[in-house]
Amino acid sequence: MSSHKVSPPWHIVVISLVAVTVVSAVIYWVFPEAPRRRAVSQPRQVQGWYYVWPDLPEELVDRQAKSSSYSNIAPRDYVGPETCASCHPNNHEAWSKHPHRWMNAEATEESIIGRFDGTTVPLRGGTVTVYQEGNDKKMRVHRGAIDRIFTVSHTIGRRYHQYYIGMLESGTPISRMSEYKGVDAAPQSYERPIGPDTKLVLPLGYRIEHDQWVPIYGVYDENDSDFTPDPYENFKPVAYYGSCALCHTTIPQGYRMLLDHTAVGLKKPELHYDIGPFLDSTFSEMTDASLEKMPSTAEELDIIIRHVSAKYEPEKAVTLGISCEACHYGGREHVESEGQIPPRFLPSSPHLIHGEEAEQIDFGRTHQENINLICGQCHGPPRMTLPGGASRINSSEYRDAINGSCYSQLTCVQCHEPHSEIGSHWPNTPDQDDASCLTCHSNFKSAKARDDHTHHPRGSQGSRCMNCHMPHVTEGVETIVRTHQISSPTNPEIIEEGGVNACNICHLDQSIDWTIQFLGQWYGAQFDEDQLADRYADRNELMGRVWLQDSRYEIRRIGIGVAQRAGATWLSKELSRQLDDMYNINRQFAQTTLESLLGIDLDSKGYYYWMTPHERTQVLDEVYKWIDQVQLSAGSQDNAP
Dihedral pair phi/psi, residue 491, rounded to 5°:
-50, 115
Strands of 117-209 (E only): list them. Answer: 120-123, 126-133, 136-143, 146-156, 161-171, 176-181, 188-193, 200-201, 204-207
List, for residues 252-261, the tens digit of each pLDDT value: 998 888 887 7
- Least reliable range by pLDDT among 36-50, 86-100, 478-492, 506-520: 36-50
Looking at the fold, whether 110 and 239 belong to one and the same domain comes out as yes
Q: Average model confidence (pLDDT) for the chain?
A: 84
- The residue with greater pLDDT, 61 or 473, is 473
> Which of the listed residues 188, 221, 243 is the one where a domain comes to its end?
243
Give the whole-angstrom CA distance, residue 107 versus residue 385: 35
- Please tell me the predicted confidence (pLDDT) of residue 437: 93
pLDDT > 70: percent of the chain: 85
pLDDT score for 47: 59
Same domain, 110 and 82: no
Q: What is the pLDDT of residue 192?
A: 56
Q: Which of 178-187, 325-334, 395-404, 481-490 comes out lowest in average pLDDT?
A: 178-187
Is 227 a member of any domain?
A: yes
For 372, other C-beta atoms within 10 Å of its C-beta total 22
Strands 136-143 and 146-156: antiparallel
Residue 366 pLDDT > 50: yes
Residue with the bigger pLDDT between 364 and 256: it is 256
* pLDDT over 70 at 568, yes or no: yes
Q: Which pLDDT score is estimated for 371?
A: 82
Q: Using pLDDT thresholds of 50, 70 and 90, give the confidence band for residue 193.
A: low
Say whether both 213 and 265 belong to one domain: no
**Residues 263, 239 within the same domain:** no
| 204 close to 215: Cβ distance less than 8 angstroms | yes
pLDDT greater than 50 at residue 165: yes
176 in a domain, yes or no? yes
Q: In what order do the strands lie in the sheet with 44-46?
A: 44-46, 50-53, 271-274, 352-354
Give the closest residue to 583 by CA, choosing from 610, 565, 558.
610
**Residue 505 domain-assigned?**
no
Q: Are residues 263 and 192 in the same domain?
A: no
Higher per-residue confidence, 270 vs 556: 556
> Does 478 reside within a domain?
no
| pLDDT for the residue numbered 235 | 80
* More confident of the two residues 577 and 30: 577
- 118 with 221, same domain? yes
CA distance 386 to 483: 10
Mean predicted confidence (pLDDT) in 175-186: 49
Q: Quick check: 442 and 454 in contact, CB under 8 A? A: no
In a domain, 13, yes or no: no
- What's the per-residue H, E or C state across 80-107? CHHHHHCCCHHHHHHHCCCCCCCCCEEC
Q: Which of 38, 59, 42 has its CA nearest to residue 277?
A: 38
Give the C-alpha distances (Å, rounded to integers) separating 421 from 16, 175, 377, 525.
Answer: 72, 40, 19, 40
- Which pLDDT score is estimated for 26? 38
Residue 564 — very low, low, confident or very high, per pLDDT cuts 50/70/90? Answer: very high
Rounded to an integer, the average pLDDT of 127-156 is 96
Are 95 and 112 in the same domain? no
From 243, 272, 297, the end of a domain falls on 243
Q: What is the pLDDT of residues 24-72, one digit of tens each?
A: 443 333 333 333 333 335 666 665 567 777 777 777 887 777 677 899 9
Q: Is the predicted pLDDT of residue 491 greater than 70, yes or no?
A: yes
Average pLDDT for 330-342:
93
Residue 266 has pLDDT above 90, yes or no: no
User: Quick one: 221 and 261 in the same domain?
Assistant: no
Task: Kindly indicate the confidence band of residue 188, based on its pLDDT and cuts at 50, 70 and 90.
Answer: very low
pLDDT at site 127: 96
Q: Per residue in 392-410, pLDDT tens?
A: 998 889 999 988 888 888 8
Residue 223 pLDDT > 70 = no
Total domains in the fold of the chain: 2
According to the model, what pLDDT value does residue 217 have? 86
Same domain, 134 and 235: yes
The answer to the question of residue 9 being in a domain is no
**Nearest-CA neighbor of 55 among 66, 69, 46, 44?**
44
- Sign of the alpha-carbon dihedral angle for 217, 219, 220, 222: positive
The fraction of the chain above a pLDDT of 90, given in percent, is 54
Collect contacts of 382-385 with beta carbons under 8 A, ≥24 apart.
Answer: 382/262, 382/264, 382/265, 384/554
Ranking 95-99, 293-297, 441-445 by mean pLDDT, the lowest is: 293-297
Is residue 527 domain-resident?
no
**Per-residue pLDDT, 29:** 38
Does position 183 have pLDDT exceeding 60, yes or no? no
300 and 332 within one domain:
yes
Query: Is 559 a member of any domain?
Result: no
| Cβ partners under 8 Å of residue 598, min gap 6 | 569, 572, 627, 630, 631, 634
- Residues 211 and 269 occupy one common structural domain: no
Residue-level pLDDT at 220: 66
| Strand duo 50-53 + 271-274: pairing | parallel
| Mean pLDDT across 88-106 | 93
Whole-structure pTM value:
0.86
Torsion of CA 35, 36, 41, 43, to 10 degrees: -60
The DSSP string of 251-301 is --HHHHHHH----TTS-PPPEEEEHHHHHHHHHHHHSSS---S---SHHHH
The last residue of one of the domains, among 321, 352, 376, is 376
Residue 18 or residue 339, greater confidence: 339
Residues 254 and 302 placed together within one structural domain of the fold: yes
Residue whose C-alpha is closest to residue 594's, from 546, 561, 618, 640: 561
Q: What is the pLDDT confidence band of residue 364, given thresholds at 50, 70 and 90? A: confident
Q: Can you give the pLDDT at residue 359?
A: 65
The answer to whether residue 498 scores a pLDDT higher than 50 is yes
Higher pLDDT, 139 or 306: 139
Q: In terms of residue numbers, what domain contains 179?
A: 105-243
Confidence category of residue 222, pLDDT binned at 50, 70, 90: low
Task: Provide the pLDDT for residue 637.
Answer: 57
Average pLDDT, integer, range 579-595: 95
**Do 196 and 151 form a contact (C-beta atoms < 8 A)?**
no
- How far is the C-alpha of 629 from the C-alpha of 485, rounded, in Å? 41
By mean pLDDT, which of 142-156, 308-322, 570-584 is the weakest? Answer: 308-322
Give the mean pLDDT of 60-85.
87
Q: Higher pLDDT residue, 239 or 609? A: 609
